[in-house]
């Protein structure tokens, strides 16, 4: 008896806590909008794309020049530096050729402003590196798109879980009312001598069981609400109430196939292309590079002055003929990475088709289960109605009534669970087959 009282008090305390929390009505469209705007996973995916785009923009150096500017100030008595500085400043005189001055010059100051430009002309490995970076950037864009698709699917599932949790609460609250009504009838019958004490205790056990189930169902409401808050990146963690009903959705399953244009599959293909381009880039490092260069220089013995100037330009053909076995090993590694990426792409497509076949079978199973559970629910409801009327007239055993009552509540929960499974199977099929 004490245990029964403790459970009842705990249940009432739980209900009080839930009611004290803020209840916020929300539709699925509102959830999808907030997830699109605030979801952390989506923001992370966008930042990954920004990183890939920045890497691609760095490869502009293959075509664009590298320009630098510098200002250097020195003071020296080094014979060679002193003579060269005067020569650059265009202040060299006949006296400066005196061997004594050449060997032991006085300190001279030199201020040089220099502008340099380096322009790549032929850089074959850099061009393929740029191509690889572009493929990676496009792959990350498609990954972001697939993340959005996944979050839309996850919102569908999470919202249906919230709907299902509330349906369970409704069913169990109704079952609790019926159990309490039966308990009152049992108490009256016991006082009148129509029932044994054991029958009354069975009814009380049933009431306690429903209370425990209802407490669990309300915890599921909180769990589902918290998960929606997590998806929407909302730290308030209020209790949501769905404004959309849990109903059976309509769906046509014919001709549903995995498309190679699906964003995640296309992203893997682009990633494989990136590995291919990197392998070609490693091979191109065996070829020479051609770069143009030039500089414009300003000299004076006073800071930020420019009484003398000069320029230099030219071209350089450079060729790293041998770097030990480093380039050979790097090319072999990138070749292996490319071959691995092709195998992973093939495996991913095969696995996606496997998931599609499983999802199709799950949808068919859920459809059949929905029909059977709908019929079972009608039968159990009618059975409970008959047994309840007979019990009121004293023509039905308490145990039979409790069995019918338990069965009806169970069939209701199974029916709503099947609706969830049926709609989830549809949503998953649409997620798998979306292009």
Q: Are 264 and 373 members of one domain?
A: yes
Give kind and range of the element (H or E) at residue 256.
none
Q: CA Rg, the chain, in Å?
A: 40
Q: Which residues make beta-bridge pairs with 75?
A: 109
- Quick: pLDDT tens for 145-165: 999 999 999 999 999 999 999
DSSP string, 83-148: HHHHHHHT---GGGG-HHHHHSPPPEEEEEEEEEEEEEEE-HHHHHHHHHHHHHHHHHHHHHHHHH
DSSP one-letter code for 236: T
Residues 132, 266 within the same domain: yes
Closest CA to 377 of 411, 337, 417, 326: 411
CATH code of residue 10: 1.20.1600.10
> Quick check: is 259 in a domain?
yes
User: Does 429 fall in a domain?
Assistant: yes
Determine, yes or no, domain membership for 337: yes
Distance CA 129, CA 36 (A): 33
Token pair 């003579």 is at which residue?
83
pLDDT value of position 340? 95
Per the structure block, which two tokens stand in for 242?
Answer: 């769905």
Residue 151, domain member (yes or no): yes
| Percent of the chain whose predicted confidence (pLDDT) is above 90 | 55
Predicted confidence band at 26 (pLDDT cuts at 50, 70, 90)?
very high
Strands 239-242 and 23-26: parallel
Looking at the fold, whether 339 and 273 belong to one and the same domain comes out as yes
Confidence band of 11 (pLDDT split at 50, 70, 90): very low
Query: Is residue 85 a part of any domain in this protein?
Result: yes
Q: What is the DSSP letter of 248?
A: P
d(CA 86, CA 95): 12
Whether 90 is in a domain gets the answer yes
Note the pLDDT of residue 199: 77
State whether 315 and 375 are in the same domain: no
Lowest mean pLDDT among 2-16, 129-143, 315-329: 2-16
Residue 382 sits in the same domain as residue 234: yes
DSSP letter assigned to residue 61: G
In this prediction, residue 133 carries a pLDDT of 95
Q: Are residues 179 and 280 in the same domain?
A: yes
Structure tokens of 185? 């009838």
What number of CA atoms fall less than 13 Å from residue 170's CA on the CB side? 12
Cα distance between residue 428 and residue 407, in whole Å: 31
**Arithmetic mean of pLDDT, 184-200:** 79
Same domain, 227 and 328: yes
Indicate whether 294 and 403 sit together in one domain: no
Pair 91, 134 in one domain? no
Are 412 and 178 within 8 A, CB to CB?
Answer: no
Q: Do 296 and 223 fall into the same domain? A: no
Q: Which domain holds residue 118?
A: 67-122+289-319
**CB 165, CB 220: distance < 8 Å:** yes
Q: Which of 379, 371, 378, 353 is nearest to 421 (CA)?
A: 371
212 and 312 co-located in one domain:
no
Q: How many domains does the chain have?
A: 2
Q: Which residue has the higher pLDDT, 16 or 73?
A: 73
Reduced to 3 states (helix: H, G, I; strand: E, B; else coil), residue 261 is: coil
Cα–Cα distance, 296 to 76 (Å, whole number) = 23
For CA atoms 179, 184, 185, 189, give the dihedral sign: positive
Does the pLDDT of residue 7 top 60, yes or no? Answer: no
Look at residues 105, 68, 63 and name the one whose alpha carbon lies nearest to residue 87.
Answer: 105
**One domain for residues 32 and 111:** no
End-to-end CA distance of the chain: give it in Å, rounded.
Answer: 61
User: In Å, how far from its chain's centre is CA 89?
Assistant: 63
**For residue 78, how far is the Cα from the chain centroid?**
64
265: in domain: yes
Evaluate whether residue 350 is within a structural domain. yes
Distance of alpha carbon 331 from alpha carbon 283, whole angstroms: 6
What's residue 253's pLDDT?
Answer: 67
Whole-number Å distance between alpha carbons of 371 and 357: 22
pLDDT the model gives residue 21? 64
For residues 352 and 386, what is the distance between their CA atoms, to the nearest angstrom? Answer: 50
Triad 5, 9, 12: Cα angle to 5°: 140
Q: What is the mean pLDDT of residues 268-295?
A: 92
């Amino acid at each position: 008896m004490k245990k029964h009282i403790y459970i009842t008090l705990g249940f009432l305390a739980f209900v009080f806590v839930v009611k004290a929390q803020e209840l916020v009505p929300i539709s699925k469209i509102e959830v999808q909008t907030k997830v699109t705007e605030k979801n952390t996973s989506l923001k992370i995916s966008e930042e990954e794309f920004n990183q890939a785009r920045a890497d691609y923009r760095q490869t502009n150096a293959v075509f664009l020049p590298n320009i630098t500017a510098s200002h250097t100030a020195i003071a020296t008595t080094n014979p060679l530096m002193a003579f060269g500085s005067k020569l650059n400043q265009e202040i060299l005189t006949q006296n400066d050729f005196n061997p004594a001055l050449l060997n032991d010059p006085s300190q001279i100051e030199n201020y040089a402003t220099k502008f340099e430009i380096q322009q790549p002309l032929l850089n074959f490995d850099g061009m393929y590196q740029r191509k690889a970076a572009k493929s990676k950037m496009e792959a990350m864009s498609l990954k972001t798109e697939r993340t959005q698709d996944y979050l839309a699917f996850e919102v569908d599932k999470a919202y249906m879980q919230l709907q299902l949790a509330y349906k369970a609460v409704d069913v169990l609250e109704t079952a609790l009312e019926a159990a309490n009504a039966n308990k009152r009838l049992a108490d009256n019958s016991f006082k009148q001598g129509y029932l044994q004490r054991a029958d009354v205790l069975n009814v009380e056990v049933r009431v306690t069981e429903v209370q425990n189930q209802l407490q669990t169902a309300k915890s599921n409401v909180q769990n589902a609400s918290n998960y929606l808050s997590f998806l929407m990146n909302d730290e308030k963690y209020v209790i949501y109430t769905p404004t959309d009903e849990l109903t059976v959705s309509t769906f046509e399953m014919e001709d549903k196939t995995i498309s190679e244009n699906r964003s995640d599959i296309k992203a893997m293909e682009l990633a494989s292309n990136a590995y291919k381009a990197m392998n070609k880039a490693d091979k191109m490092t065996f070829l020479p590079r051609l770069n143009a260069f030039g500089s414009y220089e300003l000299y004076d013995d006073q800071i930020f002055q420019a009484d003398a100037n000069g320029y230099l330009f030219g071209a350089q053909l450079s060729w790293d003929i041998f770097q030990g076995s480093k380039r050979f090993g790097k090319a072999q590694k990138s070749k292996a990475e490319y071959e691995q990426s092709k195998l992973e792409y093939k495996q991913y497509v095969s696995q996606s088709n496997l998931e599609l076949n499983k999802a199709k079978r799950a949808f068919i199973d859920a459809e059949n289960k929905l029909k059977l559970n709908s019929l079972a629910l009608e039968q159990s409801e009618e059975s409970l109605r008959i047994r309840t009327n007979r019990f009121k007239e004293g023509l039905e055993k308490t145990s039979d009534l409790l069995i019918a009552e338990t069965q009806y509540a169970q069939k209701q929960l199974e029916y709503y669970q099947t609706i969830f499974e049926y709609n989830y199977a549809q949503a998953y099929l649409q997620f798998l087959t979306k292009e």
